[in-house]
Structure 1
């Protein structure tokens, strides 16, 4: 099982400023990896799954240890985001949960947009309304194709 220390610092260093700008969001160690929450709801969860122990990840990871982040997606955007495959996938729990494999290929502007959208899904409406889209963010149609 992964612990908070198993998440490469390069990913935490990128995610902390993205998540930290969202009102009332806080970081905490999770049962595996690290997560950011608003109240008691998880906005983003980053971890290094063991594909032998968690077989759901085996088809999404390319050999060796890979770090993934799960997050919430507006249901109407889920298929468009995950249909293209790597690095995105649909989690096998929750109706609107997606995952992304992080690595050198990661577009951190897109991750900022996805985390912001996840926050909007999970935060109380009055807090979600206070968050502007990240600068130069691509819309769902642009991500899909």
Structure 2
């Protein structure tokens, strides 16, 4: 005797819960969306939760505010480059007011090992760990 398919087993389970008074099937696992259309064709009132999630994600609230985050910047290998980078972040942030901008934590330390000396003469490069730990907040 052949084993019933997963869709048949799920259909039988839905019929069973309907017999116990359920009027709508709300799947608790996204995988059931794979058989949702089949269940609906068989007359089982079933919500397709993947479709609901996708609809919400694409038509959700008008202009949802992005969750706030903090940008950590370790600068100093050219102080003007750090300032220029920060200016680009500000210029490219879609902010309606000052409070909508991205929070930035900057460790600006130009007293670092010389990159050129390291490349040409193999001089030791000091670690940026101390700068990074200062920027931790």
- Using the size of structure 2 for normalisation, the TM-score is 0.18
Higher gyration radius (CA): 2
> Which protein has greater RCO, CA pairs closer than 8 Å, 6+ apart?
1
